[in-house]
Structure 1
Amino acid sequence: MEATETQKPWFYESGGQRKGGFSEQEMISLITSGEITRGAVVWRNGLSDWTKLETTELAAHLDKTAPPPLSGEHVNNTVVWVLAFAPLIGLIFESIVAGMVYNGSEYRIEQALSSAEFWYITLALNLALSFWDEKRLEQSGIDTSKFKGMTWLIPVYLYQRAKALKHNPAYFIVWLVCFALMLTV
């Protein structure tokens, strides 16, 4: 589509692909239909680079009743810190289950732990906390689409989360240390 400067065709990013060019009216329709939302990256002739939708003149068409996403400093990090220690917490749960299954036999409990007989308990705990944390981020209005597919890969998720929210990667590092400690048992 050949566009003149007066038409100023708009483009937006979706799933890592450039979509467009659209007229301003078409963009307004995409915004009101919910196809494009707050946080979307857009570009048109006259802009030097891709920019957030809410910093353009199209921001007037965003739903004003929906607040912007919480910034990283205002996001509740309780779940992510529990997740950071989840490898060790999971090991404690594995010990409890082994104790219940083997009726307190210390030798058998130790053998079950050293052979990682109940490994799935720690895995389930890590996954549950990771998915719960992602849902809490979504409730904060944060676009978690960049995490999709990575939530189950805990260290990658934690690193991406810290980067996206401009946090210190401390919870990522703590998880790695706890995981390494868990492996030494």
Structure 2
Amino acid sequence: MEQDFTLDKSSNEWFYEKNGERIGAISEAEMQELIQSGILSSDTVVWKKGLTNWKKLEQTELKQYIDDSVPPPLTGQHINNTVVWFLAFAPILGLMLEYFVAGVLSGGNVELAAYKVQEGYYFLITIALNIVLSIMDANRLEKAGISTEKFKGMVWLVPVYLFQRAKALNQNFAYFIVWIVCFILMLY
């Protein structure tokens, strides 16, 4: 009787999570390529037959493919939060900018400028300021090695972005709360 000594192919097939979706099954060689190209990081959750649950890539034998010469991301306490604090006050700063632009464009007529701001003629200035500051902050986080993949698309929804950012960096929610308060104050 001849025995088949081939390996169980399914035990070498990997799955990984991306944007809440399960991707796979792919070979270990393909996983190695994804890791070395930077598509998968040490924080990516992976699974293969034999694992009881999904694990971070760094907790599996795939860790050997992680380039140790690349430094780990900075922790939340080492991130420069200057831009995010400007973003926290962006609703008020945007309103001030709206008044300034309205004043310039109305030839210094304070009543006309106030009317145009109150009627929302220049509200896009505040929206643009919030979005630009969010994008700048997300770019700074990426330079610090932080994966912004899960919340970078939220730059259009600033309070969601701020909440997700604080959660991802294990920081308190102070800038999120400040933004909410400033937004409410801007409405009055």
TM-score (norm 2): 0.86
Q: Answer yes or no: is 1:181 the counterpart of 2:185.
A: yes
Q: Which amino acid aligns with 1:174?
A: V
Q: Answer yes or no: is 1:73 the counterpart of 2:81.
A: no
Instruction: Label 1:33 to 1:154 Cα distance change in 2 as closer, same or farther (>3 A).
Output: closer
- Structure 1 gaps of 5+ residues are none
**Correspondent of 1:95 among 93, 99, 106:** 99
Q: Which amino acid aligns with 2:171?
A: H
Separation (CA, whole Å) in 2 of partners of 1:35 and 1:116: 43
Q: Answer yes or no: is 1:155 the counterpart of 2:140.
A: no
SS in 2 for 1:13: strand
- Structure 2 gaps of 5+ residues are 1-6
Q: Which amino acid aligns with 2:126?
A: T
Q: Detail structure 1 runs of 4+ shifted over 3 Å in the superposition.
A: 3-9, 21-26, 45-48
Query: What do the CA deviations read for 1:97-146 (whole angstroms, capped 9, x no partner)?
Result: 12212222222122122212211111111110011111111111111111
Shift of 1:4: 4.7
Shift of 1:23: 4.2
> What does 1:26-175 align with in structure 2 at a 5 Å threshold?
26-175=30-179
The two structures, once aligned, show a CA RMSD in angstroms of 2.1
The percent identity for this pair of structures is: 53
Query: What do the CA deviations read for 1:61-96 (whole angstroms, capped 9, x no partner)?
Result: 111221111122221111111000001011111111
TM-score (norm 1): 0.87
Contact in 1 for aligned 2:10/2:49 (Cα 8 Å): no
Separation (CA, whole Å) in 2 of partners of 1:153 and 1:136: 18
Instruction: Label 1:120 to 1:6 Cα distance change in 2 as closer, same or farther (>3 A).
Output: closer
Contact in 2 for aligned 1:134/1:144 (Cα 8 Å): yes
Separation (CA, whole Å) in 2 of partners of 1:54 and 1:43: 12
Shift of 1:160: 1.1
Separation (CA, whole Å) in 2 of partners of 1:83 and 1:35: 29
Instruction: Label 1:13 to 1:113 Cα distance change in 2 as closer, same or farther (>3 A).
Output: same
SS in 2 for 1:64: coil
SS in 1 for 2:156: coil
